[in-house]
């Protein structure tokens, strides 16, 4: 299960931060280079210390009152105040200066990560054009209501979801899908908010207010993407809980025990203890691990894959089973007439009578028949239309009774027909209760479905399809695409049961991923370890229910999502091993006096910076 948290890296004013560092460096250099001595020298060092480390001291004190004692600020303050106590003023000041330089560089690196994400998700519309008193006026998208007509000119973002009622244009969907190929929009097409009109003029009837639009939901998703914590981040939180008090105790022992046992100088061992504290700051882990996940989410977004949290990156990286819905996920979800088999009439006559009978229906099968016929149908030629739920249609066409539907419709009207077994939807037809033939309508696999399944077989233990379609159709698609398993004729509740079986039988520490195309798959999407909604463009239910959203409908993007997740997890693990390994080495060197406090700060800052830079590699998917 994902855990919610809010990791904040406070944004600082770059200019004031730089001025502070420069001023502290000038005072530090002046105190060392000038012949000033005594109390005056101490005052200059102390002033430089306050300029460079004043905010660290304030944060440490505030956190103590909040009960958060053992953080990096506390360690820095204890170490530097101790250095002042043993009159190691230059070391105390330089610790704070180097710390601030490191923080400045880390902030720049984090900013780069944020900018990469904000640029690729720069889809928030600034305004919408609406006609008021015969003139186009720019208004806030929040003011637009459902049913309003908006105008989108060349170069402008489509501000809200709607239907094109006038005009034709190419739109750039790359910010949403990661695809550089423009999409053509014409009258009657759905227009998705967040896309950019690259040419032409569009008039759009608004179907959703801004709060419900695609762009609004995506912005909300990205904004909260960092709020779900992965196991690796939980490990860092728990680790810090025990680690920091342990190193403080270790530093205390290092300062007290050796001088007592070895009768050595107290100041030498106190300095080593303070160095030990500086080295122990867990900055690299605290910053780089969440940043690694954040960068991974950004890298995926760049490819049109929106992942709702770090925990889902972790689950995506190690799949046991990748499970698919069929229609609209592995197949195009657009039905086409693939075979026409007439009995006693011509193919064109069979197609015409079925298209006429289905003329008033908006069912996908009816639409495919009318598309295949492609000629104008005179409304007057079709009378007494009776839709028989779940079976088909009965109509009077040019004086003849026409039946068009499934096997049950033929049986209902006692038509003597020939039963057909085919990998597709069969539309049986009868004219005046006499069998006239059948038409096969098929849903084609997506072009990249087969290569995606082949690649997924190398990344997961098995690929599975769950569908409500017939056994014959499911078997055909499964064989065509090379799926390991399929389950057909399932109701939505049965899909959930099959998925739960797969989850119960999965390998330990592995996940079950389910990919579906939206509202009908919501129960299964929410039950899977990672639910992936395909075709997030315009699919509200998909964005709401899923843990990840593929903004176009390509199954190959699931492969990309898994590869990005694996790269991100690899980077996160590298950072953990690298940071802990270097820390352990320098803690030992510091305890034996081999590394000075200056070296300790360089080590701490250097490790943090290298880990941050390594994390940013996840931005490049």
117-163 pLDDT tens trace? 555 556 678 899 998 888 889 999 999 999 999 999 998 999 998 99
Maximum average pLDDT range among 174-183, 238-247, 427-436: 427-436
| Model confidence pLDDT, tens digit, residues 389-402 | 768 899 999 999 99
| Residue ranges with strand state E in 294-446 | 305-307, 319-325, 331-342, 382-388, 392-397, 400-405, 425-431, 434-445
Active site residues: 325
| Model confidence pLDDT, tens digit, residues 427-479 | 999 999 999 999 998 888 899 999 999 999 999 999 999 987 778 888 989 99
Average pLDDT in the chain: 83
For position 34, what pLDDT does the model report? 80
Q: May I ask the CATH architecture of the domain 333-444?
A: 3-Layer(aba) Sandwich (3.40)
Query: Nearest 5°: phi and psi at 173?
Result: -105, 10
- Report d(CA 269, CA 590) in Å as an integer: 10
| Model confidence pLDDT, tens digit, residues 188-202 | 888 888 888 988 899
Angle between helices 72-85 and 266-280 (to 10 degrees): 160
State how far the alpha carbon of 587 is from the alpha carbons of 39, 289, 357, in Å: 34, 21, 83
- On whether the pTM is more than 0.85, the answer is no
Q: What separation, in Å, do the N-terminal and C-terminal C-alpha atoms of the chain show?
A: 25
Q: Look at residue 523 and tell me whether its pLDDT is greater than 60.
A: yes
| Model confidence pLDDT, tens digit, residues 2-42 | 654 444 444 456 788 888 889 999 998 888 888 777 888 88
- Report d(CA 260, CA 266) in Å as an integer: 9
Q: May I ask the CATH architecture of the domain 128-159+161-207?
A: Distorted Sandwich (2.70)
Domain boundaries, the chain: 128-159+161-207, 333-444
The lowest-confidence range among 39-43, 261-265, 320-324, 547-551 is: 261-265
């Amino acid at each position: 299960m994902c855990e919610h948290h809010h990791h904040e890296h406070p944004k600082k004013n770059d200019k004031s931060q730089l001025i502070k560092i420069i001023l502290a460096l000038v005072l530090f250099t002046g105190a060392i280079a000038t012949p000033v001595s005594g109390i005056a020298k101490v005052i200059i060092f102390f002033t430089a210390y306050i300029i460079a480390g004043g905010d660290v001291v304030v944060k440490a004190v505030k956190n103590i009152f909040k009960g958060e004692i053992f953080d990096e600020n506390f360690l820095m303050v204890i170490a530097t105040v101790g250095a002042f106590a043993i009159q190691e003023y230059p070391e105390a000041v330089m610790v704070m200066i180097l710390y601030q330089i490191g923080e400045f560089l880390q902030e720049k690196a984090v900013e780069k990560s944020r900018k990469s994400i904000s640029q690729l998700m720069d889809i928030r519309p600034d305004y919408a054009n609406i006609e008021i008193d015969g003139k186009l006026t720019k208004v806030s998208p929040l003011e637009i209501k459902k049913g309003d007509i908006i105008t989108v000119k060349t170069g402008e973002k489509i501000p809200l979801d709607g239907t094109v009622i006038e005009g034709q244009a190419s739109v750039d969907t790359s910010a949403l899908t990661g695809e550089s190929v423009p999409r053509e929009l014409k009258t009657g097409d759905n227009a998705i908010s967040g896309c950019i009109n690259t040419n032409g003029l569009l008039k759009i009837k608004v179907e959703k207010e801004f709060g419900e639009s695609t762009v609004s939901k995506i912005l909300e998703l990205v904004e909260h993407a960092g709020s779900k914590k992965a196991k690796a981040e939980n490990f860092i939180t728990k680790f810090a809980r025990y680690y920091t008090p342990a190193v403080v105790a270790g530093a205390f022992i290092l300062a007290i025990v050796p001088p007592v046992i070895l009768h050595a100088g107290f100041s030498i061992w106190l300095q080593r203890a303070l160095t030990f504290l500086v080295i122990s700051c867990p900055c690299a882990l605290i910053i780089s691990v969440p940043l690694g996940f954040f960068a991974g989410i950004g890298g995926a977004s760049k490819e049109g894959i929106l992942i709702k949290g770090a925990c889902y990156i972790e689950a995506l990286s190690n799949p046991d089973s990748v499970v698919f819905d069929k229609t609209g996920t592995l197949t195009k979800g657009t039905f086409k007439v693939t075979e026409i088999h007439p009995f006693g009439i011509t193919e064109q006559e069979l197609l015409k009578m079925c298209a006429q009978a289905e003329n008033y229906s908006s069912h996908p099968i009816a639409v495919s028949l009318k598309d295949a016929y492609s000629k104008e149908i005179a409304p007057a030629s079709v009378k007494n239309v009776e839709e028989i739920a779940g079976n088909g249609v009965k109509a009077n066409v040019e004086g003849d009774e026409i039946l068009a539907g499934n096997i049950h419709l033929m049986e209902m009207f006692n038509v003597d027909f020939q039963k057909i077994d085919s990998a597709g939807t069969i539309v049986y037809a009868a004219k005046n209760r006499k069998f006239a033939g059948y038409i096969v309508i098929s849903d084609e696999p997506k072009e990249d479905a087969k290569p995606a399944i082949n690649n997924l077989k190398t990344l997961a233990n098995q690929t599975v399809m769950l569908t409500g379609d017939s056994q014959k159709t499911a078997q055909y698609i499964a064989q065509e695409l090379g799926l390991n398993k399929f389950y057909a004729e399932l109701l939505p509740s049965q899909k959930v049961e099959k998925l739960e079986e797969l989850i119960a039988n999965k390998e330990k520490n592995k996940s079950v991923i389910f990919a579906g195309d939206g509202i009908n798959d919501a129960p299964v999407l929410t039950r899977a370890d990672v639910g992936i909604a395909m075709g997030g463009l315009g699919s509200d239910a998909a964005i709401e229910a899923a843990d990840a959203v593929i903004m176009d409908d390509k199954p190959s993007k699931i492969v990309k999502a898994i590869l990005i997740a694996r790269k991100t997890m690899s980077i996160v693990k590298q950072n953990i091993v690298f940071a802990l390994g270097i820390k352990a080495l320098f803690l030992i060197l510091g305890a034996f006096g081999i590394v000075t406090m200056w070296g300790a700060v360089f080590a701490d800052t250097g490790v943090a910076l290298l880990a941050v830079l390594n994390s940013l590699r996840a931005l490049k998917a």
